């Protein structure tokens, strides 16, 4: 993986740089026009945020159950990426909403639950940084709680009356929009995989450093 990391990172950067060309050629949406093209970054970022929250929650559950430090390393890396992609969602969404809805923010179900999901990820990171001894288990429990929020974020647009587009939008995208969407999604999934790998590696090195200090004390 170490050998493949740099070429894959360059590939992700090239895809990211080329994405605006693909998106520019995608069909214009009939009611929103140009600003709808924010969707090509916003929606895949939301998908990555939700996937990352699930990865964090599953890894945390494994850590609580099996006490496997490797699972904890995955959990902390995924939590940081949930916070990062959550921030991207919470910034790009209002940029779209300002033109499409006439307001930056509305306290409706999807937006509020996404914000809560992001706060849980940030809360996890604060607990891990400042929680002291036992914060690993406390954080893991919080991450499991955060994962329980994910299905609610996803279905919120179908259950409650919201201004946010429904989950049927992506599966029913027209061929003129579908290619650009999945190109952007693939780019962000690749970027997520690479950032997660790099972050797990950092956590592994930190564990190795802690072991070196412990060996020196002995």
Partner 1 sequence: MMRRLLLVVWLLAGVAAPVLAFQPPAAQSEYVPVKDLPPVDQLPAAPLLVAAYSFIWLAAMFYLWTIWRRLGKVEAEMRALEQRRTHSSR
52 φ/ψ angles, rounded to the nearest 5 degrees:
-65, -40
Stretch that binds partner 1, among 66-74, 86-94, 124-132, 135-143 (CB under 8 A): 86-94
| Three-state DSSP class for residue 29 | strand
Q: Which of 37/110 has CB closer to partner 1?
A: 37
Kindly state whether residue 199 participates in binding partner 1, applying the rule CB under 8 A: yes
Kindly state whether residue 168 participates in binding partner 1, applying the rule CB under 8 A: no
**Terminus-to-terminus CA distance in the chain, angstroms?**
34
Total site size for partner 1, rule CB under 8 A: 33
Stretch that binds partner 1, among 52-60, 131-139, 158-166, 190-198 (CB under 8 A): 190-198
Kindly state whether residue 118 participates in binding partner 1, applying the rule CB under 8 A: no
Angle, CA 47 vertex, CA 18 and CA 67 arms, to 5° = 120
Would you say 49 and 85 are in contact if contact means Cβ atoms under 8 Å apart?
yes
Kindly state whether residue 128 participates in binding partner 1, applying the rule CB under 8 A: no
The b/e string for 142-178 (b: 16+ C-beta within 10 A; e otherwise) is bbbebbebbeebeebbeeeebebbeeeebeebeeebe
Encoding tokens for residue 133? 């001894």
107 φ/ψ angles, rounded to the nearest 5 degrees:
-85, 65
Residue 202: DSSP 8-state: H
Kindly state whether residue 91 participates in binding partner 1, applying the rule CB under 8 A: yes
Kindly state whether residue 84 participates in binding partner 1, applying the rule CB under 8 A: yes
Query: At its nearest, how many Å lie between partner 1 and the CB of residue 151?
Result: 25
| Interface with partner 1 (CB under 8 A) | 16, 20, 33-35, 37-38, 41-42, 45, 84, 87-88, 91-92, 95-96, 98-99, 102, 191, 195, 198-199, 201-202, 205-206, 208-209, 212-213, 216
């Amino acid at each position: 993986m170490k050998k493949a990391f740099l070429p894959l990172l360059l590939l992700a950067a090239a895809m990211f740089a080329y994405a605006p060309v693909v998106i520019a050629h995608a069909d214009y949406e009939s009611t929103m026009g140009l600003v709808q093209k924010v969707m090509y970054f916003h929606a895949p970022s939301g998908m990555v945020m939700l996937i990352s929250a699930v990865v964090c929650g599953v890894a945390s559950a494994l850590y609580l159950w099996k006490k496997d430090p490797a699972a904890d390393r995955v959990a902390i890396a995924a939590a940081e990426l949930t916070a990062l992609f959550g921030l991207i969602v919470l910034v790009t969404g209002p940029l779209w909403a300002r033109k499409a809805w006439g307001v930056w923010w509305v306290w409706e179900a999807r937006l509020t639950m996404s914000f809560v999901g992001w706060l849980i990820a940030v809360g996890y990171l604060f607990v891990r940084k400042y929680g002291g001894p036992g914060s690993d288990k406390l954080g893991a429990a919080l991450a499991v709680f955060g994962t329980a929020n994910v299905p609610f974020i996803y279905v919120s647009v179908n259950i409650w009356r919201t201004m946010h587009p429904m989950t049927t939008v992506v599966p029913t995208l027209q061929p003129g929009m579908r290619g650009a969407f999945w190109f952007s999604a693939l780019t962000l999934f690749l970027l997520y995989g690479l950032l997660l790998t790099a972050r797990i590696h950092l956590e592994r090195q930190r564990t190795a450093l802690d072991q070196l200090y412990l060996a020196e004390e002995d």
